[in-house]
Amino acid sequence: MQVKIFISATLRSFAGKRAEILVEGTNISEAVDALTDEYPELKKGLFDEEDKLRNFVAIYLNGDDYSESKNWHFPLREGDEIYILPAIAGGAPEDALISKERRKEAALDDDEIERYSKHLMLAGIGVKGQKALKASRVLILGLGSLGSAVVQYLAAAGVGTIGLADSKEVAISDLQSQVLHTKRDIHRPKTASAKDKIRGINPKINAIVYPEKLGADNIQDIIAEYDVIVDCTDNFKLRYLINDACVFTGKPLVFGAIYQFEGRVSVLNYKGGPCYRCIFPAPPPAGLFPTCSESGVVSPLPGVIGSRQAVETIKLITGQGNTLTDKLLISDVWNNSEHFLKMTKKDTCPICGLNPTVFDVQDFDYDDFCGLTDKDDEIPVEGIELSELIRRIDEEDKLTIIDVREPHERAIHRFPNAIAIPIGQLARRQKELNPDIDTIFICREGKRSILAINTLREAGYKGNMYNLIGGIEAAKDIIFSHEGAWL
């Protein structure tokens, strides 16, 4: 029997860049086996050493969660669709988040009545909804690609108080997809740029900035002051930090994530719905799947996904419409496809399940959390400083340099004489390496290369291996004496 398997964007590099694949199988187990037989490199990303589905991967059948292996032997029917979903990052509400008392206190003046006239004509918003928006307090975490759309649309919609949290400054590379900022904002704090944008849209909106880094010591105090939290961040550490803080403070979380051409939106921790850990109990190992900052994103995509986040936020505030409280919307703008996957609260969730193991918000070391730090019984991954590598190259030492980055990353910054081998191909291509010669591994920031070294060790490679500390980011402005061009 033939069934269709949809491959999430983060996995397509392991599956011939294909978004959907037809395979033969009478059940999920056979279909997944057929897929991994055709694409062996995909198996390592999906399953651990004991052939168990990894915690950061979910499998759906016709929109329902079938991640538990006990469900994999149910018979499939012709035309069934399987969706493989790794982490990257509805139902009608019974009432509005904003109380009647707060809503009544938010009077609309003549200017606001004219400004929001198109909202006032909508049955789903009207005067009550617009007053609720004015009385509401929304915190936007992350003022990059997703935050750019969310900030502007919520400001235009009339949200009375908007919190702006981001510790970074605007860089020229941000301008491609972060339309909140302009060239004059380069080197300015993103919070300052966002506040100026809000002031330009509507000076009556109260914009509160949080330019400091988020951590366990401050996040709960910050989000406690808001009605809705909008996650526009771009890394797993913050996603889990934000999720846990929202669970402990009882705040609804509007989640959004993007990767290349694919985006996701959901409403989490709302009216008994799932939290982020219900879907993905643990993140993938650092570097296994690059973030959008490492792998790029088509510039209009954040606008698409950020706009959906803004809409979900407005639904929560006004108490109208069908929210994504038990659904995950996946939008692939490059292949013109959308899927709604059902999300369920898991009894086994480590924070909101029946037997929780997480009891407070904690900062964690990402590498340790993902099992990448050295254990007492493991050989530590040895690093090499850029200055030492340059010296050895200039002295023409015999070295093998392996670049594990994606092709589009290498097109931006190349490393001279490096051999390109993606992590998924290292085990089967280890014969291309000479164990008698030192091998240096490079990636963007020095994290994926650690994973590459550990992968080869597991495969039995015995040669000396070194991780370039800081990765290509540390070397992009260096000119080698035998190279006539910038890296």
Q: Which of 292, 349, 352, 370 does the annotation list as catalytic?
A: 292
Interhelix angle 126-135/301-318, rounded to 10 degrees, is: 100
- C-alpha 261/C-alpha 258 separation (Å) is 7
Is 349 tagged catalytic? no
Cβ–Cβ under 8 Å, residues 90 and 17? no
**Hey, what long-range contacts does 430-437 have (CB within 8 A, 24 or more apart)?**
430/456, 430/459, 430/460, 430/461, 433/400, 433/402, 433/461, 433/463, 434/400, 434/463, 435/461, 435/462, 435/463, 435/464, 436/463, 437/398, 437/399, 437/400, 437/463
Letter for the amino acid at 339?
Answer: H
Main-chain phi, psi angles of 486, to 5 degrees: -70, 150
Cβ–Cβ under 8 Å, residues 409 and 385? no
Cβ–Cβ under 8 Å, residues 82 and 5? yes
Q: Which of 246, 278, 349, 443 does the annotation list as catalytic?
A: 443
- Residue 82: CA count within 13 A, CB half-sphere: 31
Is 443 tagged catalytic? yes
- C-alpha 369/C-alpha 286 separation (Å) is 9
3-state percent breakdown (helix, strand, coil) of the chain, nearest 5:
35, 20, 45
* Pairing status of strand 438-442 against strand 465-468: parallel
For the CA atoms of 236, 238, 240, 244, the dihedral, rounded to the nearest 10 degrees, stands at -170
Give start and end residues of each alpha helix (H) in 264-370. 276-279, 292-295, 301-318, 366-369
Closest CA to 178 of 300, 305, 88, 331: 300
**Catalytic sites, residue numbers:** 292, 443
